[in-house]
């Protein structure tokens, strides 16, 4: 009995030590996974930014902003991957790097579920980004109405898949008001939007851009 009371504290200390080691490994694994996801997202955004450089030439009529916040006031904002202001409208882009470098297939079923099938054979349900784009549209409208003070400007949310080896199979009942494009389709889509008709005059574009930069002091159109 005396030996039992001597051994018990040792067992408890050993158990607690093993638990903390296990918890630390789980935490490190979660951090590594999160870091890999963020890295993949950043790589996707860089790819999209690269194809948009053609809209950033000195003689371009478009103004391109990356990683900015917009909303009806500074306390109620969303973070946008990319916002483009041009003569035929305002475009807010949500970039997704589904499939990483290897790619795969995304199935969108009749219930609007997104299922990613990787080339490795692994499949999983991923978050439908449409809700995120809808939220961005709502905040953008609030920004234009309350901050800029203008209404009835054409705006368009776009989901851009940055991986060149991803294929999308869409159910015919999908709501197509938010286009899903690969990065190489993005610039032609923007230029042809609204059949290229002018909706925003230079003074209006300048006013919108100034308001964007006022809300994002470090932002600068490119």
Q: What is the pTM of this model?
A: 0.79
**pLDDT tens-digit map of 18-74:** 766 766 666 655 444 344 444 444 677 899 999 999 999 989 999 999 999 999 999
Residue 9: which pLDDT band, with cuts at 50, 70 and 90? low
**pLDDT tens-digit map of 105-135:** 999 998 889 999 988 888 999 999 999 999 9
Using a 10 angstrom Cβ sphere, with 0-12 exposed, 13-18 middle and 19 or more buried, the burial of residue 27 is exposed
Across the chain, mean pLDDT equals 86
Lowest-pLDDT choice from 13-17, 29-33, 136-140: 29-33
Asked if residue 210 has pLDDT above 60, the reply is: yes
**Alpha-carbon Rg of the chain, whole angstroms?**
24
**Which residue is it, tokens 């400007």?**
153
Lowest-pLDDT choice from 123-127, 141-145, 177-181, 216-220: 216-220
Q: Which two tokens stand for residue 166?
A: 């991803």
User: Residue 77 is inside which H or E element, if any?
Assistant: strand 76-86
Q: Which of 51, 55, 137, 132 is nearest to 92 (CA)?
A: 137
Helix or strand or coil: residue 58? coil
Residue 211, C-beta contacts closer than 8 angstroms, at least 6 positions apart: 143, 147, 148
Q: Which two tokens stand for residue 104?
A: 């795969």
């Amino acid at each position: 009995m005396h030996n039992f009371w001597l051994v018990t504290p040792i067992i408890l200390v050993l158990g607690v030590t093993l638990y903390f080691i296990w918890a630390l490994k789980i935490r490190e694994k979660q951090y590594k996974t999160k870091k890999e996801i963020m890295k993949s997202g950043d790589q996707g955004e860089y790819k999209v930014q690269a194809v948009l450089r053609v809209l950033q030439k000195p003689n371009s009529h478009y103004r391109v902003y990356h990683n900015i916040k917009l909303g009806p006031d500074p306390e109620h904002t969303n973070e946008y991957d990319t916002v483009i202001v041009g003569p035929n409208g305002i475009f807010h882009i949500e970039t997704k790097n589904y499939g990483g470098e290897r790619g795969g297939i995304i199935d969108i079923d009749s219930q609007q579920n997104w299922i990613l099938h990787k080339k490795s054979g692994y499949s999983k349900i991923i978050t439908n980004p449409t809700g995120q784009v809808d939220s961005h549209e709502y905040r953008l409208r609030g920004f234009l109405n309350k901050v800029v003070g203008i209404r009835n400007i054409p705006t368009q949310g776009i989901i851009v898949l940055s991986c060149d080896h991803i294929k999308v199979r869409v159910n015919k009942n999908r709501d197509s008001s938010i286009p899903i494009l690969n990065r190489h389709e993005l610039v032609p889509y923007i230029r042809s939007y609204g059949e290229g008709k002018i909706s925003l005059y230079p003074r209006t574009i300048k006013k919108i851009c100034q308001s964007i930069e006022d809300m994002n002091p470090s932002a600068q159109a490119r």
